[in-house]
């Protein structure tokens, strides 16, 4: 089973989420913990990373199969999140 780790940017992203979204993010993280491939692969500049949708918000993450880690890179509104990760 994979474990979940967070970058500092992801930690900051969580802090700034509205409370009702934080609960949905927790549920999404539990889901990813059970199925790390649940998110969709990203393309172009973000190839190698995946996104998991939670309403209008996204969790951007990368799988590290050798270490069995789901590395959460960022969380935020879909309008801004891809610009942050380029």
pLDDT tens-digit series, residues 40-80: 999 988 899 999 999 999 999 999 999 999 999 999 888 87
Split at pLDDT 50, 70, 90, the class of 82 is low
Measured CA to CA in angstroms, residue 31 lies from 1, 28, 68 at distances of 12, 5, 16
Tokens read off for 31: 């889901």
Q: Which domains does the chain have, with CATH numbers?
A: 3-84 (3.30.2310.20)
In sequence order, what are the beta bridge partners of 63? 70
pTM: 0.88
pLDDT at 85 over 60: no
């Amino acid at each position: 089973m994979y474990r979940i780790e967070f970058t500092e940017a992801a930690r900051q992203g969580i802090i700034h989420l509205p409370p009702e979204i934080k609960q949905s993010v927790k549920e999404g993280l539990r889901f990813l913990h059970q199925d790390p491939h649940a998110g969709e692969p990203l393309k172009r500049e973000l190839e190698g990373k995946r996104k998991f949708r939670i309403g209008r918000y996204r969790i951007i993450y990368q799988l590290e199969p050798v270490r069995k880690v789901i590395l959460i890179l960022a969380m935020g509104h879909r309008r801004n999140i891809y610009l942050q990760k380029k």
